[in-house]
Amino acid sequence: MTDMPHPKAKTSSLSKTVLRWLLYIILCLFALYYLMPLFVMLTTSLKSLEEIRTGSLISLPRDITFDAWKTAWSGACTGIQCEGLRPYFWNSIQLAIPAVLISTLIGALNGYVVAQWRFKGANLIFSMMLFGCFIPFQVVLLPMARMLGLMGVAGTIPGLIFVHVIYGIGFTTLFFRNYYVTIPHELVKAAKVDGAGFFRIFWSIFLPLSLPIVVVTVIWQFTQIWNDFLFGVSFSQAGTQPVTVALNNIVNSTTGVKEYNVDMAAAIIAALPTLLVYVVAGKYFIRGLTAGSVKG
């Protein structure tokens, strides 16, 4: 005869199933809550102004139109932003890619030095760079503006690149340092015995092991730089403004009738690169965090 399952075992299994489904329901409700603004933005951008005035905020568009997207991207010369987001979108690309690459490379070198090449004052230098991560943006506006003026790059894209590289070095150094301290120091000693120097060890040993933290750093820096508004509005001028500044100008335009569908389309266009980065590389971001970027 087969053994009958104990009543307590049945009750325990049923309780676990109920709790699991309850957890799934709560998580789905939270997901819907956080996705609702994106849903409203998307549906509003696909509606005409007449439908926005007469319809419901969360209703699906009766007649889908992409006129608002065309206006947001290319402009209609009816408001203060005749050009649309297109030239400013390109400005942000020219700004973000070099700034991300430079700050990531410098952070990798700094983290490598601080974590593996012990020297007098290394901890003090790292502490000072770490302190720089927590300095508010507003504190550095005036000294940074003065520095950009002395360098002759005020109001230019290279000037903005310089600002974001300087402000991002503290974070990138922190990420790489905390990752490199998990790599055995014996690798460095063995490489030194074989005659490898500073840069040979870095390029041949540490960089090949750095893919997880490189992904974390690139995603972090790209998101911070692309979404930045304060530095963009403070250190740019007409023709060099990033997409966030242009988006602010479009949304705050008071010329003519308020075009909410154009505002929503422009906001989605400005957010698309960071959304795509997280969709494509989000799982690698989590792996990189668990691989050592928050340890040490």
What does the domain layout of the chain look like in residue ranges? 7-65, 86-293
Residues 6+ apart with CB under 8 A from 78: 255, 256
Name which of 208, 235, 257, 253 is nearest 83 in CA terms: 253
For helices 7-45 and 67-74, the axis angle rounded to 10 degrees is: 70
Read off the pLDDT of residues 256-269 as tens digits, 9 standing for 90 and up. 677 888 999 999 99
Confidence (pTM): 0.83
Report d(CA 34, CA 57) in Å as an integer: 16
Name which of 227, 224, 245 is nearest 236 in CA terms: 245
Report d(CA 34, CA 47) in Å as an integer: 22
Report d(CA 181, CA 170) in Å as an integer: 17
Q: What is the pLDDT of residue 81?
A: 43
Fold classified for 86-293: MetI-like fold (1.10.3720)
Read off the pLDDT of residues 89-109 as tens digits, 9 standing for 90 and up. 999 999 999 999 999 999 999
Q: Where are the alpha helices (DSSP H) in the chain?
A: 7-45, 49-54, 67-74, 86-116, 122-132, 137-151, 157-180, 186-193, 198-201, 211-227, 230-234, 243-251, 260-288
Read off the pLDDT of residues 66-82 as tens digits, 9 standing for 90 and up. 989 998 998 765 444 45
**pLDDT beyond 60 at 217:** yes
Q: What is the pLDDT of residue 16?
A: 81
